[in-house]
Amino acid sequence: MTRFTVNNQPVEYRLDPQTPLLWALRDASNLTGAKYGCGTGICGACTVDVDGHAVRSCRVSIAGIEGSYVTTIEGLSRERTHPVQLAFIAANVPQCGFCIPGIVMAAAVLLKTVPDPSEDQVRAAITNICRCGVYPRLIDAIQRAGRAMRGEETIPAGFRPGIDPADSARQVPALVPPKAP
């Protein structure tokens, strides 16, 4: 059994120790924010924070992170109010949205270690692939999030896209056919 902490909750996985972290998160923990994109670690859709490092979760086994602290997009901010998320919304970064959780996680890790990144630092740290081509807005949004995290700017909370997290995994009652008269 493999043990580590996911979104501040201790977890013990009864899976093969060589199971990729991505599948443990998605299949065993129902944390589906990290996406399966390429399976080779190139695209970055599966990026999560492991002990303060942006990690491609498709490429690391759960045994390889025994005892670690993992933060997924769901654990970054339950209310979607992390400065990176707010800056992305304000700059209209998300388009199809598939790559966004991985990019948000990579940006959040960058801003923890480099609070005021230059454009070159952002480009070097965010190697995620986005087929929609959001890159120009992405750099500005990450730098704006950094300013917000440093207290130099306020990003107004706007419309929160998507499903309320409380509704995302709710049980739907089974349909019962009406009784015959």
* pTM confidence score: 0.85
State the pairing for strand pair 69-71/47-50: antiparallel
Residue span of the structural domain in which 88 resides: 83-153
Question: What is the CATH number for 92?
Answer: 1.10.150.120
* Domains held by the chain: number: 2
Q: Does residue 61 fall inside a structural domain?
A: yes
Mean pLDDT in residue range 6-22: 97
Q: Is the pLDDT of residue 160 over 80?
A: no
**Residue partners of 26: CB distance under 8 A and separation at least 6:** 32, 34, 36
Mean pLDDT in residue range 148-156: 94
Give yes or no: residues 56 and 90 share one domain: no
- Structure confidence by residue, pLDDT tens digits, 87-103: 999 999 988 889 999 99
Neighbours of 122 (CB within 10 A): 22
- Structure confidence by residue, pLDDT tens digits, 114-151: 999 999 999 999 999 999 888 889 999 999 999 999 99
Question: What is the CATH number for 69?
Answer: 3.10.20.30
